[in-house]
Amino acid sequence: MINFLLLKRNLNDMTKRFLLYFLILLSNGIFAQPVSVQADYNAMGDCLFSAYNNTKVPIFLNINLADLENTVFTEPLPYVKKLDPGYNSLFTLQRDPDADVPRFNYEMKVFRSNPLAEVDLKFPYLIPFAAGKTAEVFLVQNIDGFWGQEGLESWYATGFSTKNGEDVYACRNGIITEIVGTKRSGEATGWYNTWTNSITLLQDDGTLICYHNVTDSGNKLKVGEKVYAGQWIGKIANNAKTLVVLIWNDSLFSKSPRFVIPQFIIGEGDQEVLIVKKEYKVVHPIDVLGLEMSSKEKRKILSKQK
């Protein structure tokens, strides 16, 4: 026979301890992004984990549980969950019916990209200019300022020679996570990189893409807005003569990000890693534009371009 009065008192004590521990973690700055995580106990003593993403864009939460008592963690490991803005249900630690409430230790980390992203290295990216234009590739020799004062041992970027005021288009679908003009503001812990005149998107595969030397003229874009491949995203900034594109994602096992060497569409059905000092004719094939669109999105967006 379960002593429900004792169980209720144990649940209340556990909830208080959990909330206190969470507040201590928060005050120590362990959470780099405003994510609230909560563990609630139901009448049977199961522990239900949930999270609230207070930002306008998706972010990724990693939870590492250890020293489990009176329960078993059945989720795939390592546990990483994409958090959409707002409320997110996580997982349940089911109570052993013949034991006390679940007890455990845990660590939490928040990432701006998917630290377990499965990257398709052959995905066809669009050259980020208007269809019909000619793009010339140059060798990017450094990305100073991208990662603050810390140097990166390994990185990759694609550079295009251009002129100020030229229109820039999205290489791939994504959600706008950051729009930065000539100056940065706000807490540095919330920045996606340290570049100014940049637009950053979270792509569908969990990687991030940053367009450097781009401005959102007319403030037409909003953080949290979905952008489609081939959609206008801005213009080359004043006094800028290059566009630099970086694609990367966080790593669960390293402080340094992992960079992607993309392949770009160079013709109908043809793609390659772009060659320095070579000129390419920009094409926006319909089949590539619709690769990551739903049927509804294709009818709404692509029908206008046929």
Last residue within a domain, chosen from 62, 80, 111: 111
Clarify whether residues 93 and 208 are in a common domain: no
- Report the length, in residues, of the chain: 306
Q: What is the pLDDT of residue 304?
A: 67
Task: In whole angstroms, give the CA distance from residue 166 to residue 290.
Answer: 24
pLDDT of residue 263 exceeding 60? yes
pLDDT of residue 11 exceeding 90? no
Clarify whether residues 188 and 212 are in a common domain: yes
Last residue within a domain, chosen from 111, 137, 154: 111
Clarify whether residues 107 and 129 are in a common domain: no
Task: In whole angstroms, give the CA distance from residue 303 to residue 68.
Answer: 54
Clarify whether residues 174 and 253 are in a common domain: yes
Task: In whole angstroms, give the CA distance from residue 122 to residue 270.
Answer: 11
**Residue 70, token pair as written in the block:** 């009176």
**Contact in structure between 205 and 275 (CB atoms under 8 Å):** no
Residue 151 resides in a domain:
yes
Clarify whether residues 19 and 70 are in a common domain: yes
CATH of the domain at 241: 2.70.70.10
In this prediction, residue 306 has a pLDDT band, given cuts at 50, 70 and 90, of low
Nearest Cα neighbor of 92 from 83, 84, 77, 102 is: 102
Q: Count up the domains in the chain and report the number.
A: 2
**Contact in structure between 235 and 168 (CB atoms under 8 Å):** yes
**pLDDT tens digits, 203-213:** 999 999 999 99
Domain containing 265 equals 124-304
Amino acid identity of 250? D
Residue 118 resides in a domain:
no
